[in-house]
Amino acid sequence: MPPTYLTKDPVLVPATGYVFVAPEGTPKPTLPLDIRNLRTLRESIGTSWASIGNTSLENGIAHESAGDDAEVLGTWQNPALRTTNPPRIYTLTLALADFTLDTYKLYYGGGDVAADGSFIIPTVPASQTKAMLIVAVDGDRHVVEYYERASMIGAEGVTYDPAALTEMPVTATVLGGTNGLGEISPVMWGKAGEINPPTLTAVTPATAAPGTQVQLTGTNLNAPLTVWFGIYEGVNPITTPTGTQVTVTVPDPVETGDLPVQVRVETNFGESAEEDFTIDQS
């Protein structure tokens, strides 16, 4: 099933998130992902990707961009002939909360393991280049960020705070890949989500004046939705709990005279077929 991107409510409150790393160059998994739980997510992304572990709930993941501002260049004849396009450097800061050998390697820049299992902090740190996958989850919807190559190393210092979880901030600098710097998906439904596009079977009456309420009949007519009368958006659509009917007010178009239009319904799951309608302005 191809991804179904949200069209009417494409916002995200990332209540849960996951970060995975893999050897640089690891391809992006097939979208959408199965985000029902961590087990299904792991199965969905494949065995090449390893979880980075717990990250900060309070600080989240900070995205930053640095580089020169665009500069306006001109001539005597045209002072604003063109603008420059200076490159940008994108970084992500993750506050890692797991005290594991893998976390230490990312923070300290490599390193070895002592005979007793302790981590040996390297004298000269070297950033670790990884592929990185971020999955931000909001209920049954999610956004996926993919970076083919990201250089990761510790950022600020670590503080042992008796009143908070100890975190190790790591900065990931996005490097160039084979297809741009990275990829980020629109808000999409999870792979296991039930995708039911709306259908429209009747508009009653088939002719009405602006400001008049008409009734649409069909299936999967659930909010949030938009009713379109040609290029004009219907006013105050009210759905029924069964998702089989919508009451909507006919919009007031700019054009004068009777206006034949096609009525359709748009939801997060797609658009319905169109039904003939006439906006009566006689």
Tell me, yes or no, whether 66 and 184 share the same domain.
yes
Question: How many Cα neighbours within 13 Å face the side chain of 170?
Answer: 32
From 189, 216, 232, the end of a domain falls on 189
Distance CA 97, CA 101 (A): 12
DSSP strand pairing (275-279 vs 207-208): parallel
Tell me, yes or no, whether 38 and 56 share the same domain.
yes
The verdict on residue 9 lying in a domain is no
Q: What is the pLDDT of residues 203-214, one digit of tens each?
A: 999 999 999 999
Decide if 218 contacts 265 (C-beta within 8 A). Answer: yes
Q: Which pair of tokens denotes residue 146?
A: 């993919």
Tell me, yes or no, whether 157 and 212 share the same domain.
no
Tell me, yes or no, whether 240 and 129 share the same domain.
no
Q: Say yes or no to pLDDT of 2 above 80.
A: no
Q: What is the pLDDT of residues 232-272, one digit of tens each?
A: 999 999 999 999 999 999 999 988 889 999 999 999 998 99
Which domain CATH number covers 208? Answer: 2.60.40.10
Estimate to the nearest angstrom the gap between the alpha carbon of 180 and the chain centroid: 18
Q: Say yes or no to pLDDT of 1 above 70.
A: no
Distance CA 176, CA 74 (A): 31
* Angle at the Cα of 133 from the Cα atoms of 62 and 117, rounded to 5 degrees: 90
The verdict on residue 194 lying in a domain is no
The verdict on residue 41 lying in a domain is yes
The verdict on residue 68 lying in a domain is yes
3-class DSSP assignment, residue 97: coil
The dihedrals phi and psi of 170, each to the nearest 5 degrees, come to: -125, 135
Tell me, yes or no, whether 185 and 271 share the same domain.
no
Distance CA 126, CA 105 (A): 9
Q: How many domains does the chain have?
A: 2
SS3 content of the chain, % helix, strand, coil (to 5): 5, 40, 50
pLDDT at 59: 81
Q: What is the pLDDT of residues 139-196, one digit of tens each?
A: 999 999 999 999 999 998 898 999 999 999 999 999 988 889 999 999 999 998 888 9
Minimal CA–CA distance to 243: which of 217, 263, 265, 268?
217
Q: What is the pLDDT of residues 102-128, one digit of tens each?
A: 999 999 999 999 999 999 999 999 999
Tell me, yes or no, whether 152 and 85 share the same domain.
yes
Tell me, yes or no, whether 107 and 224 share the same domain.
no
The verdict on residue 10 lying in a domain is no
Tell me, yes or no, whether 70 and 159 share the same domain.
yes
pLDDT at 22: 97
Helices assigned H by DSSP within 211-264: none
The verdict on residue 7 lying in a domain is no
Q: For residue 100, give its domain range.
A: 16-189
From 189, 219, 234, the end of a domain falls on 189
Decide if 252 contacts 278 (C-beta within 8 A). Answer: no
pTM (2 decimals)? 0.85
Q: Which residues pair with 248 in a beta bridge?
A: 214
Q: What is the pLDDT of residues 22-76, one digit of tens each?
A: 999 999 999 999 999 999 999 999 999 999 999 998 888 999 999 999 999 999 9
247: exposed, middle or buried (C-beta count within 10 Å: 0-12, 13-18, 19+)? middle
Tell me, yes or no, whether 143 and 206 share the same domain.
no
The verdict on residue 77 lying in a domain is yes
Tell me, yes or no, whether 182 and 236 share the same domain.
no
Q: b/e per residue, 141-163, with b = 16+ CB within 10 A?
A: bbbbbbbbbbbbbbbeeeeeeee
Tell me, yes or no, whether 28 and 131 share the same domain.
yes
Tell me, yes or no, whether 173 and 227 share the same domain.
no
Distance CA 130, CA 110 (A): 12
From 189, 213, 232, the end of a domain falls on 189
Q: Say yes or no to pLDDT of 279 above 80.
A: yes
End-to-end CA distance of the chain: 47
The verdict on residue 11 lying in a domain is no
Distance CA 21, CA 35 (A): 17
